[in-house]
Amino acid sequence: MSRRLRRSWQRRFVTLLVALTFAVVAVTGVLAFVRGFSLRIIGLHALMGFVFVALIGFHVANNIRPLKRYLRSETLWSCIAITAVLTIFVWQQPGPVRALLGLSGNIGPAMQRFEMSDDELVFQYVPAEHYKMALRVKTGEAYDAENPPKVAIWLENQGAYHIKTLHSPEASDAESLPYWSFKVRGWEKAKQEAELKEVDGEEIDGVTMPTPNGSFDPADYILPADPENPMPYKMLIEINEPGDAHGMYEDQPSLVYSVEIDNAWPKTFQLLEILGYPKREDHDDKEAWSLYYVDERVGSAVNLIDSALLTIERGESTD
């Protein structure tokens, strides 16, 4: 193969790799925006971004001559100015940018992090700079770090309706957390029904409709428009170790823990209390789940968690 043909093949190869890698980065970027936090999606987006940067370097090396002409053109300064203005505008996060970020699967520029170690599970959630939540779950004697239990963390309003999942298990593990799964399905159905409702020919956004203690928008509870009249809400954990036989159970049920959060009566430290284990009790051919008191029939499952402490740091909003 001649040198000219080899360079031509190299350009096509690198260009196609750049295009395909860009597609992966673009798709994962959109998914990261519209969906709740997912370490897989964020990880894929970030790492493929590094690959994309490396490929851009090869692309520049293969096209250095035309790029030099672009760098000498007057258009360069206009592009630099536009990029700088857009970067500063987005970085400062004025009202329009915050409104756009509010459409994300997270609440605005929220930050979430979930970590599991031998002796604790730590979940951090920062929906705003002045509102920081940290959940620390001390593991019990039944906890196995090599085979950790499945965990879901979510928020509910006073009507016991799911409003936001903070941490979800892998899709394949969802069946081991039936109570959380049931709540999510109900939330998705309620959103779909609300979006289809019409009043005088106009669609209602039932997801954000300000019904007292009935809104499905987590911002109405965590970061309400009227801070003087916040609505209480709850944080719940469902935890399950699949295959943990005990007594009459070949597989002990999951356990649900909860704590109520009321920003009208703020507390910095709150302990979660066990609510019970879920049991399916369909009514009129409709799926329904109830929580039952944990008795002696449940064994090691109650020792997966030693204690669960929720800490909330509240400050003054800068808005």
pLDDT per residue as tens digits for the range 77-88: 888 888 899 889
Final residue of a domain: which of 65, 92, 119?
A: 92
Q: Which pLDDT belongs to residue 205?
A: 47
Residue 75 sits in the same domain as residue 37 = yes
- 72-81, 92-101, 166-175: segment of lowest average pLDDT: 92-101
Number of domains in the chain: 2
Q: Cβ(136)–Cβ(216) under 8 Å?
A: no
Residue 80 sits in the same domain as residue 125 = no
Exposure string (b/e) for 284-304, b if CB count within 10 Å is 16 or more?
eeeeebeeeebeeebeebeeb
pLDDT tens digits along 112-146: 778 888 889 999 888 877 888 999 999 999 999 88
Residue 106 domain-assigned (yes or no): no
pLDDT of 237 strictly over 90: yes
Between these two residues, 237 and 220, which has the higher pLDDT value?
A: 237
Q: Which pLDDT belongs to residue 201?
A: 52
pLDDT tens digits along 289-300: 999 999 888 999
Residue 168 sits in the same domain as residue 62 = no
Q: Which pLDDT belongs to residue 204?
A: 47
Residue 163 sits in the same domain as residue 251 = yes
Residue 256 domain-assigned (yes or no): yes
Q: And the tokens for 293?
A: 């008191």
pLDDT of 202 strictly over 80: no
Per DSSP, helices labelled H in the chain are 3-34, 39-62, 64-71, 75-92, 95-101, 178-196, 219-222
Final residue of a domain: which of 62, 92, 122?
A: 92
- 86-95, 197-206, 290-299: segment of lowest average pLDDT: 197-206
Per-residue pLDDT band at 96 (split at 50, 70, 90): confident
Residue 25 sits in the same domain as residue 121 = no
Q: Cβ(304)–Cβ(143) under 8 Å?
A: yes
Residue 22 domain-assigned (yes or no): yes
Residue 102 domain-assigned (yes or no): no
Counting beta carbons within 10 angstroms of the beta carbon of residue 256, is it exposed (0 to 12), middle (13 to 18) or buried (19 or more)? Answer: buried
Q: Which pLDDT belongs to residue 211?
A: 45
d(CA 167, CA 36): 9
Q: Which pLDDT belongs to residue 42?
A: 77
pLDDT of 283 strictly over 70: yes
**Amino acid (1-letter code) at residue 173:** D
Q: What percent of the chain has pLDDT over 90?
A: 31
Residue 121 sits in the same domain as residue 73 = no
Q: Which pLDDT belongs to residue 294?
A: 93
Can you give the residue range of the structural domain that contains 74? Answer: 3-92
Per-residue pLDDT band at 108 (split at 50, 70, 90): very low
Residue 220 sits in the same domain as residue 301 = yes
Helix (H, G, I), strand (E, B) or coil at 130: coil
Helix (H, G, I), strand (E, B) or coil at 308: strand
Q: Which pLDDT belongs to residue 317?
A: 65
Residue 205 sits in the same domain as residue 69 = no
Residue 14 sits in the same domain as residue 129 = no
d(CA 195, CA 183): 18
Residue 124 sits in the same domain as residue 188 = yes
Q: What is the mean pLDDT of residues 243-256?
A: 92
Residue 254 sits in the same domain as residue 296 = yes
pLDDT of 148 strictly over 80: yes
pLDDT of 206 strictly over 70: no
Residue 80 sits in the same domain as residue 136 = no
Between these two residues, 148 and 68, which has the higher pLDDT value?
A: 148
Listed residue (211, 236, 27, 229) closest to 135, CA to CA: 236
Q: Which pLDDT belongs to residue 158?
A: 87
